Amino acid sequence: MATALFDKIIFGPIKSRRLGISLGINLLSPHSKLCNFDCIYCECGWTKNNEHSTEKPHFNDKKDVLISLENFLKERAEKKEPLDVITFAGNGEPTMHPDFEEIINKTIELRNEFFPNVKIAVLSNSTMLGKESVRRALAKVDRAILKIDSAFDKTIAQINEPIGQYSLQNILDNMALFTGEIIIQTMFLRGENKGETIDNTTEKEVSAWIKVLKQVKPTQVMIYSLDRDTPLKTIEKVGKGELNIIAEKVRNAGFECSVA
Ligand code: SF4
């Protein structure tokens, strides 16, 4: 499957490996990608010069998002069809949306009205945690799933290619200000980018990353590897056996860990 954009505001529900029956919400335009990372594994393709974008990147209007969500939840509740989780993901970084907190507040109201047992999850690259309203909003959701793919800025530069200033220490300082529960999500992969070897599964990488986990104290850690087509073709999947070995190390350090 080639990389592709999510072409709707509301997508799915899909059966997620990690989350169950998941309804996706895309706060970014269905016709372009908008993110402050340019991950070499992003299923939406590159951020810069995105091959699928047909318009200038922008956010969906909050009214459009909330009307689409309300209509969907209402109809699904009437049909008594199951749902496990409402997941903010899509064509980029959801917490960059200027009305993110307001959208989360309203989503909680809609969830309480139509599916009170359904969880709300946000997949985020952690970069917007410096913004108080983002921390407040993420603290209200059931699953704030925050990406840290390495303990080293150099490796993060290779894997996530942040656009603009980035330092993991800054992310960790902002995580320390966060009052909610954190789930850390990490992609493991290896390969080559711009002539340099990338491998975040080495002993050095994994032990430094576990030190970061001890600092962040997440309630859960989710690790996974490539499953879909990637914009960079010179990277490869890490096998389930290796992921299980990493997961065991995480558990030995005292954290719950799931392998997708
Ligand atoms: S942070 Fe997520 S949306 Fe942004 S480039 Fe990486 S994988 Fe894609």
Could you read off the pLDDT of 209-218 as tens digits, one per residue? Answer: 999 999 999 9
- Give the closest residue (by CA) to ligand 1 atom 8: 42
Q: Give the distance (Å) from ligand 1 centre to CA of residue 125.
A: 7
Q: What's the total number of domains in the chain?
A: 1
Which among 29, 34, 39 is the best mutation to test ligand 1's pocket, defined by most ligand atoms within 8 Å of the CB? 39
pLDDT band, very low/low/confident/very high, at 49 (cuts 50, 70, 90): confident
Q: For position 156, what pLDDT does the model report?
A: 98
- Tell me, yes or no, whether 128 lies in a domain: yes
pLDDT band, very low/low/confident/very high, at 19 (cuts 50, 70, 90): confident
- Tell me, yes or no, whether 3 lies in a domain: no
Ligand 1 and 125: CB distance under 6 A: yes
- Tell me, yes or no, whether 2 lies in a domain: no
- Tell me, yes or no, whether 5 lies in a domain: no
Q: For position 77, what pLDDT does the model report?
A: 96
Which among 3, 29, 93 is the best mutation to test ligand 1's pocket, defined by most ligand atoms within 8 Å of the CB? 93
Q: Which domain, by its residues, includes 197?
A: 10-259
Angle at alpha carbon of residue 140, lines to 134 and 142, rounded to 5°:
115
Instruction: Report the mean per-residue pLDDT for the chain.
Output: 95
From residue 138, alpha-carbon distances to 70, 105, 179 in Å are: 20, 10, 9
Q: Is residue 252 a contact partner of residue 241, using CB atoms and an 8 Å limit? A: no
Does residue 17 surpass a pLDDT of 80? no
pLDDT band, very low/low/confident/very high, at 181 (cuts 50, 70, 90): very high
Q: What is the rounded CA–CA span in Å between residue 60 and residue 174?
A: 26
Q: What is the pLDDT of residues 236-248, one digit of tens each?
A: 999 999 999 999 9
- CATH code of the domain covering residue 214: 3.20.20.70
Ligand 1 and 129: CB distance under 6 A: no
- Tell me, yes or no, whether 182 lies in a domain: yes
The alpha helices in the chain, defined as continuous H runs, are 62-78, 100-114, 132-140, 153-159, 168-177, 203-216, 240-252
Q: Give the distance (Å) from ligand 1 centre to CA of residue 161.
A: 10
Take residue 201 and report the two structure tokens written for it: 């599964």
What's the whole-model pTM score? 0.96
Give the residue-averaged pLDDT of 43-54.
90
Does residue 7 surpass a pLDDT of 90? no
Does residue 55 surpass a pLDDT of 90? no
- Tell me, yes or no, whether 1 lies in a domain: no
- Tell me, yes or no, whether 133 lies in a domain: yes
Q: Give the distance (Å) from ligand 1 centre to CA of residue 40.
A: 9
Does residue 89 surpass a pLDDT of 90? yes
Q: For position 1, what pLDDT does the model report?
A: 60
> Cis peptide before 30, with omega less than 30 degrees from 0?
no
Ligand 1 and 35: CB distance under 6 A: yes
Ligand 1 and 53: CB distance under 6 A: no
- Tell me, yes or no, whether 229 lies in a domain: yes
Ligand 1 and 39: CB distance under 6 A: yes
